[in-house]
Every structure is written in structure tokens, then in C-alpha cells.
Structure 1
Amino acid sequence: MSTKDSELSEQYNKIFIEQAPTAIAMLDKDMRYIAVSQRWITDYKMEDKEIIGRSHYELFPEIGEDWKANHQKCLKGAIDICEEAPFKRADGTIQWIYWDVRPWYVSEGKIGGLLMHTGDITPQKEREKERARMIQILDKTNEVARIGTWEVNLSTNEVYWSKMVCEIHEVPENYRPQLETAINFYKEGESRETIQRVVNEAMLTGQPYDVEVELVTAKGTSLWTRAIGSGEFEDGKCVGLFGIFQDINEGKLAEQALSNANAELKAIFNSKSVAIITTNEKGIINHFNHGAEYLLGYSTSEIIGTQIPSLFAKMEEVERFRQDLSQKYGKDPLKGLAENNEFDVREWTYIKKDGSKITVQVTISAIKDTHGEITGSLTVASDITAIKNAEIELLRKNQVLNFAERLSMIGNWQWNTITNEVTWSSNLYKIFNVDIETRLTYDTYFSFVHPEDKEMVTNHVQYSLEEKKFPDLLHRIKLRNGTVKNIQLLAEIMTNDAGEVIELVGTCQDVTEQRLEEIKFRGLLESAPDAMVIVNEAGKINMINKQAEKLFGYSAKELKGKSVEILIPEAYSAKHPGHRAGFFANPKTRHMGEGRELFAINKKGKLIPIQISLSPLKTKEGVLVSAAIRDITSQKIAEGKILKAKEELEVFAKKLVAQNTKLADFTQITSHNLRAPVSNLNSLLGFYKLAQSEEEREDLFQKFESVIDHLTLTLNTLVEALNIRKNNNEDRLEEIEFNSVMVKTQEILAGEIMGTGAVIKSDFSKLPYIAYNKIYLESIFLNLVGNALKYRSADRVPEIYVSSGIENGKKFLKVTDNGQGINLKRHGHKLFGLNKVFHRHPDARGIGLFMTKTQIEAHGGSISAESEVNVGTTFNINFN
């Protein structure tokens, strides 16, 4: 071929490439552009660039060494073909392309450069990805409810069945039914006639349908199904059908279960709790459900065909929505949501037909067809006015709680043992007089520990970390200005799955005043000459003095927290709890066991005759009883001698009277003179028993001294002082109907109950009412029923049963579910701990059973759980 012919051929090639409808580029052996098609320029966004004569690698700097190596192979005669591959552009975007790269020849055997034929398939890949995602979501939904989806495109006569629909028909997952033959799966007769009739009506009039029909599967199985469908219209013409398909065979066999299922499904489609509004691509409302009518007060006929949201939304909120999303996506909000497969959730103010305003939570998303084109928008709104009001009320209560925290000088803290970071509440900064901007670690806290208490605190923390439990700790701190305070630490230790300590959370209270009062009280207690034992209403010993240690032979540490019956002989201990309950029912200062002999028993088992004076003490912990105990062993011995002397004198007097009957006058005098000392002895014995002071006892029996009245006066004075200081913010109890709390709980959780199809039953016939803190009881119901819904089983409809009653004189409440259950062997020890989560739930922030346990125990009750994994859980609450 001549040079002229070669140049002419090359010129023709350039013209052909430039006018080609696909992306083609012609390059020389140096990889410089000779010619490109217009499609090449648009596909790779090079409209504003000079291309001819420039290096391929200069225009595409992102091309890697592996591609360059392939190009060199092609320049030596190889052909490189790829059907699809990701191409990461210099700006970070991913472009999916296919290519065919091969050499072009100047003459036979002589390569002049490369021809590149490529295509941008990014849109197709994105549509495939979105469809795969939707199919995955639908498949997961189908597995739970045995509900599948189907679509019919009347323009292409294509029919789509989801995986579950294929499973119900017992056909392979990749089965593609034909529009003409799909009807043959329905059983001949009424079922086939019914489905033909409702489908025709849906196509002609737009009438949606919901029918129960019987079909025969590909394997010959006969079963009942529920078919729900609706038509899709454009310009008044039906262009497609879509709907859901459900296996209801078991429900059909159990008519009651079927009735419930139908009611639940109808409730979903006709729900008044959720407003569903859709528009077409021009923003014209084309769907307005019953929930929307109920929410806004407009009828469907008043709204359909109007421009959203001109009637019921505040335009400034609409404009804010548009600005926010335009700024986020850089384009029309609906297009931004559609292209990013996202939705927008925010609070709106809706104006009802009557002019009233409500707060709603609105979710807005784009509606796309099977080709990814936007066909309209979907708005789902629910009324959260009550929730917002509750949030405001909760905020107010939190403020009150913070105020109470300041009054009680309590703060809370967290210590991350992994990072050594410490978090304090604002009130804790005030207790330690530290600037709130100070960065906190454990060393920050330890620097405030009083020098004399540092070793004790170090040993306590070390013990807690090793044993994974934190006993209450009382110690002193010394502030920067020299002020010394007493603080009490309470804490809960958190561990990971490996049992390693990762965090401590707790409270810190400034108990300096209480500590000073305790020291004063202890001083008074130790100054008492009698043995003093302080007992709470449960009969547990709170404290004793040194005299009590000497009398009973126990140390204070041995008796603290023990039942007071440990000091009472077995013959009397059985009746003592009843006597104790009687005293607490009517507490007042008095002698115990008047007219009866009382005995105590010491550590060695020896009986000790005693006298006891009881005095009530009103404290923040409740009513305590102070028992002043006196050992009257010596008095008993003296009393015995007196009685013996009395008896001997009486006998002697009788003898004298008998022997001198004849000497009447003398007898009378003698009898008078002898009976007088006997009577005097009797009087002295009576005075001895009634004596109140040591001075009287010293006059009668070597002057025994008593200071019990003085001590009682002192203790009463202290009680009066404690009463003045007592915090009177006690829980207000009221008679509450369980059923009303149950109804309120269901109303609060209505959305989740409907969304899960939960069946909730209750029986309060055995205990309809209870005197309790209403806020606590409502919180307990909400936490336990809410947890049952949140941790429901994926394999069955949630069933929750709540009941109350009385057993062995104790009032109880039970909440039973058929949910996921809890592995109590693994998690039982921390079941009611803080930020503990036992299931991987997103909302799980994890925070709920700890609060319930605290509220129940605040009223003297208890809570326990019985659970089996994948069977369910029962929470048992025993009230005080």
C-alpha cells in the first residue's frame, strides 16, 4: 500500500471513530490520542479538555501499572477483553466499564497503535445492587411471616415472584412464571374464578383486592393462601399489578387464628395510628389512607389531587426540609434521597382541618420503579404530640432530680479501667470543689483522699477489682483549701465477656454532716452505763456499745446485721418477732416485759437476768428501737436474800403468835413489832422494783445507780433533732388499678405492638388494685412489656401474658413472653446490671432492668427471672 493510500485509510478510520455511537479511541504506539468518538468524551467527562495528541496516561492518571502492562502486551499483538470491571477515577468515584483493546496495523505485521472500545455500565450495576438489596430485605421479611411479594408489568408481560412466593408454590427459586399460565396454580372452581374476577376488577377499576383462595402447588400440595393486590395506574391506564402473597393454610385449619390474622392485617392497612401519604412524580397526592384522615381531619376526597403539602404543613418547615436536603445532596431533595437510597426522618408541625396543631414524626422517601426512575414520594407520619409532652415532662422531672441531687449532696461517676478516664456529674465537681473543665482520671480522685485513708482506699479498690464486687466505702477527702469531708462510695463493677473488669459506675455522697451526727450519737451511746443495742424494724442489729460487748461477749462486728434473736434464749425467741412487730406498730418509750422475768443469753450460752427499757428512734433509715439492757444478776441475788429473810420472819412471827395466844396484849404488841419489819421488807422490795435512780438503789441495796432515764432523755433529744433534719420527700402511694396501667402501657407501645403483631393478654382478677407509686408502677410495666417486644423471637408472633395475685400472703405480678430468652447461666449474675445488653439489637443501648429492680426494691419488693433460650422469659415481682 502506498503512503498516500495509508494516510487516506487512516483519515477514514479517524472519521469512522469520531462518528461512532459507542465509546472508541484510536491511539498511536506512544499511547497518544489520534481520534476519539463523541461517546468516549461524554462517558469520561472530557467535554472541556484537549484530547488529540495528548497521552492516554496524562488524561487518566489513575491508570495503574497493571493496565499499562496490558497495553504493552496489546502493542505487541495481544487482545485484551473484559466484560465488566470497576474503574476508580482520580476524583474518587467508581465507574464500572467493559473494554476491548486490540492493535491496529499500518501494514501487514506492522502495528500502528491501539484501538480501545469501551462502555460505561455504572447505571446498570447500581440498579442491580439496589434490586439485590431490596430482594434481600423482602426475603428476610418473608422468612418471618411467610409472606411474599409479586409484581406484574403489563407493558412487558413480565411476572416476578419473590423467593417466598416460589417456596409457597413449591417451585425453584429461579422459577419465572408466565402471565397466561400462572392462573393455573389456583384450584379449579371457586378459587380460580375468584382470582380472575378480582384481578380483572383491579385492572379495570383500580379496585384493590384481598381474597383467600386455594391453590395446588407444583408438587400437588393443596393449601390455602391469601392474595392481596392492587393496580398501578398511569394516566388512567393500568400499567401493572403488585401485591403480597401469604401462606395461611395453618390459620385456615384453625379458624380463630385465621380471624386474628385477618384482623391484624386489616389493622395494618387501615391503621389510624399511622398516616400514609403518597404522591406522583409531580408532587400530586394520589394516596391518603385512613390514618391520614384520622390524623388530619380531612377526607380522602378533599386531599387526593392536591399539591403536597399546601393544606396541612407549615411552609417554613417545608422550605427548611428542601434547603437541608439540597445542601446535603447538591440537587433536588427527592432525587438526592432516591440516588442515595436514603430517607429523611424529622419532626414536623401539621395543621389539622380544624386549625389545631400537632407534632408528628415524618419519614419521607422516594418511590422508584423497577428501572430506578422516581415515580413519586412516600410520607409516613405518626402523631408524637403526647411523646413530646412526655419529653417535656421528663425534662422537668430531670431538673427536679438534679435539684434533689444537689440537696442530698450526691453525685455520680464512671471509671473506665481500660482508658483510666473518669466521668463526674456536675454535682460531684461541686463536692470536690473542682473546675468542671478539669480532665479527670483515677489519680485525680485519689489525690483528694485523706493521707490517713489512702492505704485503706487502695486496698479496698484492689480487693474490688480482684473480687469483682465493690463493698460500700466510707472515707475522708481533703480539698485543696484544707477542708476535710466524709464521703460514701457505692459502685457496680462491669465486666466483658471474658470476665475482665472494664468499668466501675457508682455514686458519691458527701456525708460529712451525717458522720458528725453519728460520732455524736456514738459518743452518747458509749457514755451510757447500760448495754445499748440498736435494732431496725426487720429485727437486725445496727450497732451496740462497749457495755453490750462486755455483757454478751460478742464484738460489734460480730453482731452487726445479725438478728436480735441471737441474744434471746430459745424458749423466748419464737414469740419475740411478734412482740417486736407489736412495738413497731405503736412505738413509744416503755419498759419491756413488765411483771415478767426477762433473760438474755451471751456468746457462751449463759442465761443473764436483765431489765430492758425500749425507746423508738426515727431516722432516715426508718424507725429504729434503742434497747437499754441492765444485768440484774446481783439484784436478783439480793432480792432472793430479802425474800428468804421475809419468809423466815413471817414463820417466826407465826410461831410467836401461836405460843403466846394467851398473852393477847403482848401478842398484839409483839405481832405489831414483828410484822412491821416484814411489811417494811415487802415495801422495800416493792420500792426496789420501782426504783428509777442509783441513789434510791444505794439506800436500799448498797445504792445501785441507774442512768437509764437520763440516757432515754438524751436519746429522745437526739430523735427530735433527727426528726427535724429528716427529709420528708417520701414516695406518695395511691390505689392503682393494674388494668389501667396495662391499657396505658399498650397505648404507649401501640406502634410496636401493631408492627410485630404481638398478642398481649392479662388477668388481674385475683389482685385488681395495689397501693403503689404510680410513676414507678407505670415504669415497671413499660420496661418489662417493652423488653418483651424488643427481644421477641424472629420465629413466632410475640405473645405476652401479664397477671397479678396473692400467694402465701404476698402480692405478686408476673410478665411472661415467648421471646428470645436469656442464658441465665451466663448472664444471670448481671441480669439487672447498668448499660448491660444481652442481645445485638441496634436500639439496644442496652439501660432498662437496672431501673426496674431499683424501683421495685425502693418499696421493699424484689424481682427475679426464669428464662430459657428461644422459649421465653418470665419476670416475677414480689411486692412488699
Structure 2
Amino acid sequence: MLKGSQKSTNNYLIKQLPKATVFVDKRKAIVYMSDKWLNDFELYNSVAIGKNIISLFKNSNPEWQKSISQCLKGLPNLTLTESHQNKNGNKKWFELHSTPWYDENENIIGTILQAEDITLRVSTETKLEKLEIISEDISDMAEIGFWDYNLAEDKMFWDSRTKGIHEVADDYIPNFIETSNFYKLGHSRNTISMTVNRAITKEVPFSEKLQLITAKGNEIWVIVSGKPLYKKGKFSGMVGTIQNINERHLNEVRTKENQRLLRTLIDNLPLSVSIKDLESRRILVNKSEMDFCNVQTEKEIIGKDDFSFFDKARAEITRKDDLSVMRDRKPILRKEVNHKEENGDLSTYLISKIPLIDTDEHAYGLVSIRMNISDIKQKEIELRKLIDVTSSQNEKLINFAHIVSHNLRSHSANFSMLLDFLASEKSEPEKEKIMQMLLDASDNLLETLDNLNEVVHITTNTSLQKKYIQISKKIEAVQQNLGAELEKHKIKVINTIKDHIKVRVVPAYIDSILTNFMTNGIKYRSPERDSFIKLSATVEGNYTVLHIEDNGLGIDLDKYGEKLFGMYKTFHNNKDAKGIGLYITKNQIEAMRGKVTVDSKVGQGTTFKIYFNDKD
């Protein structure tokens, strides 16, 4: 046993030991304890001294207890790792060394335990282990192999993944110099040779995408990376990685091919196509869209909205449509929009806008498609005109057939009846009267046939050429021809048309048209006032409009308006009226792609407006 003074001295010295140390007797009771031990295990000397060392540690390692017992028997020193949870619940790790405790007579009187805090080392080792596991997982998933070269030993190491990429056997021993032979002859082999040489001589790392031919003859794409190692300024080796990217490369090639195909397709579509983001900025356009916005390169249009290319009012309308499509996630289809081109022409476009929807059903942009349908619209207009003309011609044909049938039947009936009278009549004077009536009927039939022939001629003769004529001079010529009638009835002709005004007409028709309308002014004059015929001209669009105004009897348009230009339609008790003039005149005007309108009031007069088509 230790004497009291010696024990006190020992206790003083042990308390100051720099390591966490505890002396335990054969009963495993604590005899001495360093302050470092107290602090590390958060103990109090008054509580710990005399206590069983095992009782102070919860869930202690059975191997540690066994090591204490072995020390008491004089067995060799033992080292074990033990964990300890402090008051804050944090786990700390200690390395415990067990050594026999001898007295001055070399008798074992207990065990000396020393503890070293290795929490940081254990944590580091754990992290490294995790990193190694993660690294292996990443290597497996990304098909990345590791390699290194030691210059001093002239040894090249490939891990299993690197050997797998090269498709060599597990016992294959690589050679640093011969490694380049795996790369495809040409660009890849030349590049790896020059790159490795540059890395060694200039101390620069490298990473290259190259083609590699495996031991089994398979051609694959890899990314090989390396970093040179130096000791005291001299090259000592190299470490690096190699990754199999063949599938990724093939997917990239296929993607690029599909992109080129798609790009070729949309660039050659007869449509303007653009993809816009949430701010209506273009993020992709085709060539037609660039032409529409009058730019040469994508740089000039990508990232810009419609305010950069259109006037404010137009841009605000397109932005409103964009917001509507993206907000409601409903497309706008086949919307017609007019657009003024740079040359001043007005074009019509058919616009469709389709929202782009993500997996969360949110719109992240839209596709805008614009198609120029100006030609189609023009064809529609022309077709509509053709339908109108065809309909009008059909109506005329039916009307003409009706007139022919009615008039010829009337003449035929009249002839038949007169011939019957002539056959049964005995009186010579009566026979002479009937013969005169037959002659009159014959003249009437010839006149009717002449009228019908004129209508047919106008309707069928489409080869007549239109020419520009000086309308004022033509009016003067017609006025001279009607001079006797005008003078007889004291009708004043007022011609206000300037000499420079010309109309595009069939010359043979214009004489007939002017004569008919001016003759009507004479026929249907009012006996109650001095009569006049006033002629003037205006321009309306593609038409030069001739106004022929009189102050005659006028026409009740509510009553006769629809029949005014019909064949053999008369509306006054004028013995000279035959109802054929206006019908023929209207046909002549329409044959020249023109039109005629009338405005009249009974007792006040009539104004005819003749539209001469200057373009068609």
C-alpha cells in the first residue's frame, strides 16, 4: 500500500499530467486522476475517486473491460477506441491505452489508463469514407475511371472502371507510353500525344474529348483528363480520369441532327414562326420571321419584343393577345390582321398563337405563327367578283331567254292571227289592210331581232380593247349630233368636265352610252320649265365617275327602281319610248367592268352616275 504522504505527492503529480490519465487498483476503483481526464470526461474528483471505472461509462465496450482485466494479469499493453457522450449529447471518441501499474517491488497493483481525444480524426475518417463511397458511386454512374502514373517506378495504374472502358482483362498491365495507341489514328491520337507532352513540359492540366478504340475494337467517345505532378520542380508522375461519354455523345449528335432538321424545316416553311417568353421577347425565330421584321441576323431580333419592330398601337395589340394566350392557356387561331409593308402595300396575315405549357400546367411562353394570305384574299375577291359576274350573267341570260321567248312568241302569234284573217277575208280593201299590218309586224320583228342581236353582241364580245379617250371632246361630238333636237326643245347642255380628264373605255360603246343618256334627257324633259343636261366628272378609287344630271320628269324609284334597266321597260307615256336604250347601255357599261347608278325624284329630275373602271 502507498503511504499517505507518498499518495499525496503522487496525486499532485498525476493531476498535472498533460494527457488524460487515471490509475485504477485491482478492484478497478479509481485511485488517481489527472485534471485532463476530469475535463475530457466532465467528472468531479470528489465523485470519481474510489468509484469503479466501468460504472462511470455507460454502454462501455466489453473489450475495454476485458483489456483492464488482462493488464491486471500482466499481459501486454492494449489500445482500444471508446466513445463517450457528453452532457450536451455530443459523442466524442477516445483512444484508450491500458498499462499494468507496478509498485516498487514490481508487483501489479492496478492499471494505468490514458485517453487521447480522437474525435476529429474519427470524423475526418468518416467523411473520407463517405467521400470514397460517393466517389465510387459517382464513378459507377458517370462511368469515370481513375488512373495514375509514377515516373520513378515507371508504373501505370488503371482502376477497374478504366480497364472496363478500355475493355481489357482485369490482369492487364498498362504502359504509359503505349496508352496513346488506344486512341483513334488521326486527330484523337495526335491530340492526346501533344496534350500529354504539353502537360509535362508546361505543367498544365488537360481535358480532351476524343475517340478511343477499345481492345475489342469498339469505337467510343471519351473525355480524358490529367494533371501532372511535380516534386522539387521536376516531373514525378501524373493522375487523371477517363469517362465514357459515347452514349451521351451519340445523343448529342442525334439531338443536333434533329435540331438541324427542325431548323431546316421551319426556315423553309412559308410561315413566320417565333417562340416568345413570358415577356413576349423572341427566344427563337425562323428565317421568314427575320424577313418580316426586316433583320439580317438572329442577334438583331432575339430577346426583343414587338415594340422594337412595330408602332406602339400595333405592339400593344400583339402584347395583349400574348398575355391572353398565356393567362388563359387557350390558343388564338387564324386571326386576320392587316399589315402595312415598307413599300406601302397593305397585306393580310393569318396569325395563330399557341401557349407553351409546362408539367405544372403553367404557361412559360408561346409559339406565334404568321402566314401571309394576301394572295388568297385577292383570289377570294376575284372569285367573288367572278361569282357576282356569273350570277349577273346568269340572271341576264334567264331574263334574255324570257324576253326572246315572250317577244318572239308575241310576234309569232300576231303573224299567225293576221295570216288567218288574210286567208278568210274576201274583201280586197280589207286584204290590203291586213297585208299592211303584216308588213308592219315584219318591221317590228326585224327591230326586235336587231335589238336582241345587239345585246348578244355586247354580252359575247369580250375581245374589244379599252382605250383612254378625252371624255369632254366625246361629249361635244355627241352634243353636235343631237344639236337639232336640243335646239328644237331648247335644252341647255352644261359640260363642266376639264379637257385633261380621260376615261378608259371601248370607243364604240362610249358614243352609244352618251347618246342614250343625253337622249333620255331630251325625251323626258319637263314642259313646265327650261330644261338642261349637266355633265360633270369625279374620281372615286379606281373609277372615273361621269355624272349626267337633268331637271326633267324624274322617275319613281320606289315603284320602278328594280325594273329601270330592264328590257322593254318604260315608265312614262312617251310615244318614242321603247324600253331598250337603258338595257343596252347598262350591258355596255358592265361589259367594260363598270357600273351605273341612278338618283331621281319625280317632278325634279334624274342623275345617272356612270363608273368607268380605269384599272380593270
TM tier relative to shorter chain: 0.3 to 0.5
Using structure 2 for the length normalisation, give the TM-score.
0.32
Question: Which has the bigger relative contact order, CA under 8 A and spacing at least 6?
Answer: 2
Using structure 1 for the length normalisation, give the TM-score.
0.24
Structure with the greater alpha carbon radius of gyration: 2
